[in-house]
Amino acid sequence: MNKIFSIILFIFSIIYLPPYISLLSIIFFLYLNNRIEKYIPIVGYILLFIFQITSTRVATNFEFSGYQNFVHQQQLDSYPPSLFRIGNVIENKIASTQLSRFQQNLFNSLDFVNYFKNYYLSLLFIPFVLGVIKLIKKQNQLFTKLLFTSIVLLTVISPDGKYGPVLLLPFIANIISFYSCEK
Amino acid sequence: MKNNILLITILVFSFILFTFKLSTIPSSVYVDEATVGYNALSILKTGSDEFGQKHPIYFRFFGAYTPGLFVYFILPFIKILGMSALSIRLLSAISGTISVLFFYKTLKLLSKNALVGTLFYTILPWTVFNSRLGYEVMFASTLFNIGCFYLLKNINTISYLGLFLISLSTYASHTQRYLAPTFLISYFIFYKKIKLKPVVFLLITQIPNIIMIFTQSFWVKNNSFSLKYFIYQIITYLSPKTLFFSLPDIDLQHQVPQISVFFWWMIIPLVLGVKKLFFININYQKFLIIWLICSLIPASLSGEFISIQRALPLLFPLMLLIALGLSTNLFINAALFIYSIILLFRSYFVLFPKFMAPAWNYGYQELSQFMVKNPDKKFLIYNDNDLRNYILPLYYLQLPYQNQLQNYYSAPKTTDNYSYLNLVFKQLDWGDNFNNYDYVVSDGKIISPDQAVTHHLTKIKTITTPLNATVLEIFKVGST
């Protein structure tokens, strides 16, 4: 019964995905249900990994607009004169604009709102949360490692590529069916 | 003994953190704080609020009918210290400090090492921000959280003190009025504690609220339920981006620049905390899960708008979860503490008072001083940016004012126009006859230089924020 429910949830979660993402999601799903060998999802993941990098203009991640530079200057000017040197260290090193950009990439990638925009998809949020808890409780080594790699990559290159954070979509689709999944 | 000394040190540190420059950070008194302060003063002086209602249970504040416990609790502060930002905000700072103590006590039930988690709870942007506000949110939240502590501590029996405090919190804030019944019903069901005695006890403590159910004032915050918005709200509040990076709150007054409600790195201990949750006592585990889920409900029922303030009940249980996942390594914790305190100092104590000044009704103190210097002049003050700005001169100048209202609890409709003494507050209308006034004040740049010339208005004063953003402009009428 659990298995059937898991499959229904999984199908529901991949309906809205582009075909190539659905394919990789299915590969992961089959792997997690012991239907295929480990190397197949790895090969599929590498292809998607390359696709994510090539569809993202990484250079924009290190460019800042005139307005951002203006705000940065205003932030520097906000420190009282007695704290100017400390302010300089904080604004340029500890909380620099570049570090903030990486944080922005990380949390834009992990923003649930982006993945559950559609009303019907939003109904999958509860199984998703339960799936995340199951993933935390009982990790699948390969799945977790690849998920972690995706998050790190998107943090560095930004999720704002031509097709968005596609590298995370197969994981989200599978996590939704996770809590009723065996492995 | 060593633990007690460290705990006292943390409490002293938290009180200093919550009261440091409390009069000037936030940079000015916000309308919600001003209305609390002014109505408290009015109660002290006359026994009635600004609408002439004797000792109200709910205060009409801009049509919100806010449960009034906070107002009554700040009366001694205003009596002793006089009306000021400090006297209005001090109760929140004390509530914040007490919440630190009870965070420690609650965490101690779940984990052996509670001090590190308590220290991080103290310096959280969410804790610090709300512990420095001149209105009810931290006070109500603390009452509710202490109640939860007593219920958790006496998980095998029933704590009447816990029930009483949770019930009391419903007289302090709208949020707790939704949260308390949701939480208590879940608690009674999941712990199979539906018995006559506690139910009767709760009903007795709720008599004032039960009486108010039959008035419109009880229902003003009731939005029509929409499953779509309810789910979207839950997704938004639980999104790591909201919790750890930036707030989607439409109200700028709730925002602190470059930081969200938790520090960004806390996403890692949160994941680890979820894992550890399954290793603690099953009764405590169940309690924490109920607490977390119920905490989300009041905020998620608020329609399409995201208000992080309504999600404040989430702070305590979510931080308990994060605290469970914190490292036990002293060096890592020391490094994270220093890093976090730098981020807090930067965002809250340096950037916030300057960048967020316009959202905090900056400039009305200076305007009020200008009014004092021109006591016989008539002012037309436009309120296009904030319809509630009429309260600010009342607060700053402590002017006598009572707008007598019939059927106090059944009149939620507010007006956009106010007038008292020689001041008129309304929205901009070019049909206004400016010759009836001596000065016209615009909140923000809503009158262009050309319009000023056309209508014979001469700008005589511009009030700006520390970052030179124009917040108020004063025009003299009839001169060139």
Interface test with A, best of B25, B228, B239, B322 (most A CBs within 10 A): B239
Tokens of B171: 């007289």
Regarding whether B291 and B215 lie in a shared domain, the answer is: yes
Tokens of B370: 């200008």
Provide, as residue numbers in chain B, all residues whose Cβ is less than 8 Å from the Cβ of A107: 240-241, 244-246, 264
Domain boundary among B324, B358, B392: B358
Among A60-74, A76-90, B360-374, which is the least confidently predicted range?
A60-74
Residue A183 has pLDDT above 60, yes or no: no
Distance from CA of A55 to the nearest CA of B (A): 23
Phi-psi region of A34 (alpha: psi -120 to 50; beta: other; left: phi over 0): left
Regarding whether A45 and A117 lie in a shared domain, the answer is: yes
Question: Hey, what amino acid is at B456?
Answer: H
pLDDT profile of chain B (480 residues), mean per 10 = 92 98 96 96 94 93 93 97 97 98 97 94 97 97 98 94 98 95 95 87 96 90 80 93 91 92 97 93 94 94 82 96 95 97 97 95 95 94 89 93 82 81 91 92 88 92 93 86
Instruction: Report in angstroms the alpha-carbon separations of B174 from B185, B221, B263, B312.
Output: 18, 8, 27, 12
Kindly give, in sequence order, each residue whose CB lies less than 8 Å from that of residue B290, ignoring residues fewer than 6 positions away: B183, B186, B187, B190
Can you tell me whether residue B48 is helix, strand or coil?
A: strand
pTM of the shown model:
0.94
**Chain A with chain B: Cβ pairs closer than 8 A:** 77
Provide, as residue numbers in chain B, all residues whose Cβ is less than 8 Å from the Cβ of A87: 350
Asked if B232 and A122 come within 8 Å (Cβ–Cβ), the reply is yes
Regarding whether B342 and B450 lie in a shared domain, the answer is: no
Q: How many residues does chain A have?
A: 183
Regarding whether A47 and A31 lie in a shared domain, the answer is: yes
Distance from CA of B406 to the nearest CA of A (A): 45
* Count of structural domains within chain A: 2
* Count of structural domains within chain B: 2
Tokens of A146: 């690849």
Asked if A113 and B346 come within 8 Å (Cβ–Cβ), the reply is no
Distance CA B60, CA B53 (A): 9
Domain boundary among B358, B379, B413: B358
Regarding whether A116 and A36 lie in a shared domain, the answer is: yes
Provide, as residue numbers in chain B, all residues whose Cβ is less than 8 Å from the Cβ of A78: 350-351, 354-355, 466-467
Distance CA B310, CA B289 (A): 19
Regarding whether A68 and A57 lie in a shared domain, the answer is: no
Higher pLDDT among residues B178 and A121, named by residue: B178
Within a domain: B67: no
Asked if A90 and B238 come within 8 Å (Cβ–Cβ), the reply is no
**Are B281 and B301 a contacting pair, CB within 8 Å?**
no
The burial class, CB within 10 Å (0-12 / 13-18 / 19+), for A43 is exposed
Asked if A90 and B278 come within 8 Å (Cβ–Cβ), the reply is no
**Are B116 and B30 a contacting pair, CB within 8 Å?**
no
Within a domain: B39: no
Quote the mean pLDDT of chain A: 85
Regarding whether A128 and A85 lie in a shared domain, the answer is: no
Can you tell me whether residue A183 is helix, strand or coil?
A: coil
Can you tell me whether residue B345 is helix, strand or coil?
A: helix
Interface test with B, best of A85, A96, A111, A178 (most B CBs within 10 A): A111
Instruction: Report in angstroms the alpha-carbon separations of B462 from B363, B385, B445.
Output: 10, 16, 10
Regarding whether A116 and A137 lie in a shared domain, the answer is: yes
Regarding whether B314 and B186 lie in a shared domain, the answer is: yes
Kindly give, in sequence order, each residue whose CB lies less than 8 Å from that of residue B218, ignoring residues fewer than 6 positions away: B58, B65, B209, B212
Within a domain: A133: yes
Within a domain: A106: no
Regarding whether B211 and B97 lie in a shared domain, the answer is: yes
Regarding whether B384 and B263 lie in a shared domain, the answer is: no
Tokens of B169: 């919190």
Regarding whether A71 and A138 lie in a shared domain, the answer is: no
Distance CA B9, CA B6 (A): 5
Interface test with A, best of B229, B245, B288 (most A CBs within 10 A): B245
The residue range of the domain holding B425 is: 359-477
Regarding whether B94 and B197 lie in a shared domain, the answer is: yes
pLDDT for res A55: 87
Distance CA A112, CA B276 (A): 23
The burial class, CB within 10 Å (0-12 / 13-18 / 19+), for A160 is middle
Facing B245 at nearest CB: one of A94, A103, A133: A103
Provide, as residue numbers in chain A, all residues whose Cβ is less than 8 Å from the Cβ of B231: 116, 122-123, 125
The torsion angle over the Cα atoms of residues A54, A59, A60 and A62, rounded to 10 degrees, is 140
Provide, as residue numbers in chain B, all residues whose Cβ is less than 8 Å from the Cβ of A105: none
Regarding whether A73 and A127 lie in a shared domain, the answer is: no
Higher pLDDT among residues B338 and A17, named by residue: B338
Regarding whether B278 and B232 lie in a shared domain, the answer is: yes
Domain boundary among B329, B358, B387: B358
Regarding whether B95 and B12 lie in a shared domain, the answer is: yes
Domain boundary among A44, A74, A98: A98
Distance from CA of A122 to the nearest CA of B (A): 7
pLDDT in tens, A19-54: 777 888 888 888 877 778 888 888 888 988 898 998
Kindly give, in sequence order, each residue whose CB lies less than 8 Å from that of residue B374, ignoring residues fewer than 6 positions away: B438, B439
* Residue located via tokens 């390969």: A142
Regarding whether A175 and A116 lie in a shared domain, the answer is: yes
* Residue located via tokens 């939003």: A122
Higher pLDDT among residues B323 and A1, named by residue: B323
Regarding whether B278 and B314 lie in a shared domain, the answer is: yes
Regarding whether A54 and A68 lie in a shared domain, the answer is: no
Within a domain: B8: yes
Distance from CA of B355 to the nearest CA of A (A): 9
Facing A94 at nearest CB: one of B244, B342, B467: B342
**Are B363 and B34 a contacting pair, CB within 8 Å?**
no
Helix ranges (DSSP H) in B374-418: 391-397
Distance from CA of B263 to the nearest CA of A (A): 11
Within a domain: A105: no
Regarding whether B388 and B323 lie in a shared domain, the answer is: no
Can you tell me whether residue B28 is helix, strand or coil?
A: coil
Strand intervals (E) in A30-177: none
Within a domain: A104: no
Tokens of B40: 């408290």
Within a domain: B334: yes
Asked if B258 and A79 come within 8 Å (Cβ–Cβ), the reply is no
Within a domain: B190: yes
Can you tell me whether residue B174 is helix, strand or coil?
A: helix
Regarding whether B388 and B253 lie in a shared domain, the answer is: no
**Are B67 and B171 a contacting pair, CB within 8 Å?**
yes
Within a domain: A132: yes
Interface test with A, best of B241, B243, B324, B339 (most A CBs within 10 A): B241
Within a domain: B186: yes
Long-range contacts of A20-27 (CB under 8 A, 24+ apart): A20/A48, A20/A51, A21/A48, A21/A166, A21/A169, A21/A170, A21/A173, A22/A173, A24/A48, A24/A170, A25/A169, A25/A170, A25/A173, A25/A174, A27/A170
Within a domain: B71: no
Tokens of B405: 């209202």
**Are B314 and B295 a contacting pair, CB within 8 Å?**
yes
Regarding whether A8 and A74 lie in a shared domain, the answer is: no
Distance CA B323, CA B332 (A): 14
Assembly ipTM: 0.91
The burial class, CB within 10 Å (0-12 / 13-18 / 19+), for B398 is middle
The residue range of the domain holding A87 is: 64-98
pLDDT for res A38: 82
Nearest CA in chain A to B272: A136
Regarding whether B264 and B121 lie in a shared domain, the answer is: yes
Instruction: Count CB atoms within 10 A of the CB of residue A64.
Output: 13
Phi/psi for B33 (5° steps) reads -75, -40
Regarding whether A70 and A17 lie in a shared domain, the answer is: no
A44 alpha carbon, distance to own chain's centre: 17
Within a domain: B79: no
CA-based end-to-end distance of chain B: 75
